Structure 1
Amino acid sequence: MKVLVFTKYPRMGASSRLRTLQYLPLLEQHGFEFTVRSLFDEAYLENLYNNSSRSRLAVLKYYCKRLITLFSVYRYDLIWIEYELFPYLPAFAERYLRLIGKEYIVDYDDAIFHNYDLFDNSIIRKFLAKKIDMVMAKSSCVIAGNAYLAERARAAGGKYIEWVPTVVDQSRYVPMLKEKGNQKVIGWIGSPSTQKYILDIKEALHTVCELHSARLLLVGATQDIVDEFSGIEVEVAAWSEDSEAQLIQQMDIGVMPLPDGPWEKGKCGYKLIQYMACGIPVVASPVGVNNDIISDGKCGYLADNLEQWADSLSILLSSQEKRQMLGDAGRKAVEKTYSLQVQAPILARIFNSIIKSDVT
């Protein structure tokens, strides 16, 4: 069974890597054959991460290349789309797929519909506010990473909606035994664009690090963030796919602060799942899917203000037994639900059901 995969980015892009590309080897064992076509390349992503300008001519070339690929869809049994085919253009390509009777699945791990319905430009809002709703409604299946995204798909008229969380490969992320008496580490993993969230709990982190002689490990942040935490020990580590699991293993507690906004409700809690897979207890803002992951897994604390952040972190820093208990619970939740090994067969079932329904 042949599947054409339209990702937004190559493997360097987190959403494409986690929601699509990491699944391919396991799905191939279920009899699927994949052809992957990303919209943007690594050069575009590097410019994006470095806040460099992106050439409009280059973007036009990317779009033209994807348009050409669309004429080959008849060779495939199923089309798998990340988000949308052409960002900031009307959904003509998705309409074309339905017009020719080609089944497509669309996957969301982010509230990208807010790119349009909350855009500052009134022209974008007028013409594209309902674009993603139309893409969802025309799809054979919407795969949603959390309840907020699934609810949007239902409201849009999606015919078939499945929840598939963002997951880790549990064979790569494993707990590591910590030596007693070592300096405790509060950790965070993210990117330069999301490091602003860690600053929202700066006062609480200062308080507990000074009180418990702990240090911070910030993976994926820029070096200048160290200046925001004068007086406590801070290590900034560069992110890479090869090293992220080993860096998380060095942490004693993982944190995920978030403001309670419409964009944040679309997040799928991947940081929490990374921490949990390494047997690390978590503290997170009670926003969106964070509530479900922590409540269901019983693997940490939800903190709604600076006082709660400081209290939760202090409890964990003071008790190795509590850290172990919550960390073990998180690891079990990953093995039960939030792992590649669990969710790949579910994706295979979804694909098979759509392909078989198309044949019949």
Structure 2
Amino acid sequence: MKVLYLSKTSEIGPSSRYRIYQYIPYLNKHGIHCEVRPLFTETYFRIIEIDNPIIRTILKTFYSAYRFFIRLSHIFDVKKFNLVIIEHQIFPYLPAFPEYLVKRLNKNMVIEFDDAIYLTFLHRKKMEKNLRNVTGAIVGNKYLAEFARKFNNEVKVIPTVIDTDRYKGKESYKAERITISWVGLSYNLSYLFSLKEVFNILSEKFNISLKIISSKNLIIEGVDIIFKKWSYEDEVKDLRSADIGIMPLPNNEWTKGKCGAKLLQYMACGLPTVSSPVGVNSEIIKDGENGFLAENNEEWIKKLTLLIEDKNLREKMGEKARKTVEEKYSLEKWADELVNTYCHFNSLNKISTFWPQG
């Protein structure tokens, strides 16, 4: 089987990296030859980090136009493939005409998304239309599936998973100074900043550092910050050198669509975690067993304090976290399911039909 995967980004983008790139060896092993063609490359991420808004906007506009024409050239190749998978959409903010054209050229088209992109500007009607017209959809959690099934009955849930051969567990939980780690894209730093008061209080009581692994730093007065610029090569090492992983989120419709990637990264590295009880976080974490859930500042302070003060608790919880990923959220466990999903959609090979649910 030949699959064309029109990804959102190159491997540097976390969504595309976890949804397709890490699966390539497994797909090849099962005779599925998957060609990935990204919309945006590493250049895009360098542009959006430019501080000057005028220069950033100009460069982003020209680069996006250039990539639009590259993507158009990809569309005319779709007839060469048995299955075409579109990550999110062919091109953001434009009408669904490119998707319509792909469907005309290759009726076996599938859409995949791991964020509630239908909530973003100009995208709700577009996503509804696309879901009605594709053979099926692959989504990252039950919340996204609930939306997708309003428009298409062929919806498969494949959670975000972790390569446990790459993400090794911690070897030691001893620490003179406790490092609390957060990893993520810079435009999500506001989620971390929401815990400003928590870090201020904990910094007054304990010998702690906050490690930020991202493309940009964050300054919180009174808190010792360790900034590490994210890189694929150093990511695992940087996480394993921490003592606690955190994932704060507000509780809203957008965050309910998130698939818990950073939480699973921490857990795969054997880190005990504290996270907000939002979306899949509440499915992944059994509070007090393989991690902690915290709903407000008081709970964040209480549960981080427990981990800061107790090495044995950090070790016990970290080991259970690692086991959770191995048993439920590992690449090895889900690779066969993705292979079966691709084969299923290929076997349908017909225009998707929507039956309204009663």
TM-score (norm 1): 0.90
Q: Deviation of residue 240 (structure 1)?
A: 0.4
Q: Distance in 1 between matches of 2:12 and 2:158?
A: 21
Q: In the alignment, residue 143 of structure 2 is paired with which amino acid?
A: Y
Q: Aligned pair in 2 of structure 1 residues 310, 286: CA closer, same or farther (>3 Å)?
A: same
CA distance in structure 1 between the aligned counterparts of 2:302 and 2:27, rounded to whole angstroms: 44
| Post-superposition offset of 1:168 | 1.6
- CA distance in structure 2 between the aligned counterparts of 1:340 and 1:62, rounded to whole angstroms: 30
> 1:295 aligned to 2:286?
yes
Which residue number in structure 1 is paired with residue 216 of structure 2? 222
Q: Could you tell me whether the CA contact under 8 Å between 2:18 and 2:161 is conserved in 1?
A: yes
The one-letter code matched in structure 2 to 1:56 is: T
Give the deviation of 1:319 after TM superposition: 1.6
Q: 1:39 to 1:181 in 2, by over 3 A?
A: closer
Residue aligning to 1:4: 4
- d(CA) in 2 for partners of 1:328, 1:130: 44
Residue 262 of structure 1 deviates from its aligned partner by 2.0
CA deviation map 1:147-188 (0-9, x unaligned): 221111012x22211111112210111112225352221111
User: Any conservation in 2 of the 1:140–1:159 contact (CA below 8 Å)?
Assistant: no
Cα deviation 1:36-62 (Å, max 9, x = unaligned): 211123222210233522353432232
Partners of 1:97 and 1:103 within 8 A in 2: no
Per-residue Cα deviation, 1:214-268 (whole angstroms, up to 9, x for no partner): 2211111634x23x132x4221111101111111101111101111122211111
| SS class of match (1:8) | strand
**Distance in 1 (alpha carbons) for counterparts of 2:269 and 2:249:** 21
Deviation at 1:285, TM superposition (A): 1.0
Secondary structure of 2:84's match?
Answer: strand
- Which of 73, 76, 79 is equivalent to 2:81? 76
Contact 2:47 2:60 in 1 (8 A): no
Q: 2:138 & 2:216 partners in 1: Cα distance?
A: 33
Higher relative contact order (CA 8 A, sep 6+): 2
The residue that corresponds to 1:152 in the other structure is 147
Q: Which amino acid aligns with 2:282?
A: N
Partner of residue 96, structure 1: 101
Distance 1:183 1:59 in 2: 45
Residue type at the aligned position of 2:157: W
Q: CA deviation at 1:139?
A: 2.0
Distance apart, 1:276 and its partner CA: 0.4
How big is the shift at 1:30? 0.8
The equivalent residue for 1:129 is: 124
Amino acid at match of 1:183: R
Match of 1:120 in 2: none
Deviation of the 1:273 alpha carbon: 0.1
Query: What TM-score, normalized by structure 2, do the two folds share?
Result: 0.91
Separation of aligned partners in 1, 2:173 and 2:75? 55
Q: Greater CA deviation, 52-61 or 41-50?
A: 52-61
Structure 1 residue 357 corresponds to structure 2 residue 348: yes
Task: State the alpha-carbon separation in 1 of the partners of residues 153 and 238 from structure 2.
Answer: 41
The RMSD of aligned alpha carbons is 1.9
Residue of structure 2 in register with 1:347 after alignment: 338
Q: State the 1:279 CA deviation.
A: 0.9
Query: After the TM superposition, which of the residue ranges 311-320 and 179-188 deviates more from structure 2?
Result: 179-188
Q: How does 1:308-327 map to 2 (within 5 A)?
A: 308-327=299-318
Give the count of matched residue pairs.
Answer: 345
Report the residue type matching 1:26 in the other structure.
Y
Q: Is the 2:78–2:106 Cα contact (8 Å) retained in structure 1? A: no
Which has the larger displacement, 241-250 or 38-47?
38-47
Write out per-residue CA displacement over residues 48-101 of structure 1, whole angstroms, 9 at most, x where no aligned residue. 233522353432232222222212211111001100112111212322333445
Which residue identity is paired with 2:96? A
SS in structure 2 at match of 1:355 = helix
Give the secondary-structure state (helix, strand or coil) at the position aligned to 1:345: helix
1:320-345 superposed Cα distances (whole Å, 9 cap, x missing partner): 22212221111111111212111111
**Where do residues 15-54 of structure 1 align in structure 2 (5 Å cutoff)?**
15-50=15-50, 52-53=56-57, 54=59
Whether 1:336 aligns to 2:341 is no
Which amino acid in the other structure matches residue 326 of structure 2? Answer: E
1:61 corresponds in structure 2 to: 66
Looking at structure 2, the residues matched to 193 and 56 of structure 1 have their Cα atoms a distance apart, in angstroms, of 19
2:250 to 241, 251, 259: 259
Q: Determine what percentage of the aligned residue pairs are the same residue.
A: 36
> Which ranges in structure 1 are unaligned for 5 or more consecutive residues?
117-123
Matches within 5 A, 1:63-212: 63-100=68-105, 102-116=107-121, 124=122, 128-155=123-150, 157-178=151-172, 180-212=174-206
Does structure 2 retain, via aligned residues, the 8 Å contact 1:2–1:76?
yes
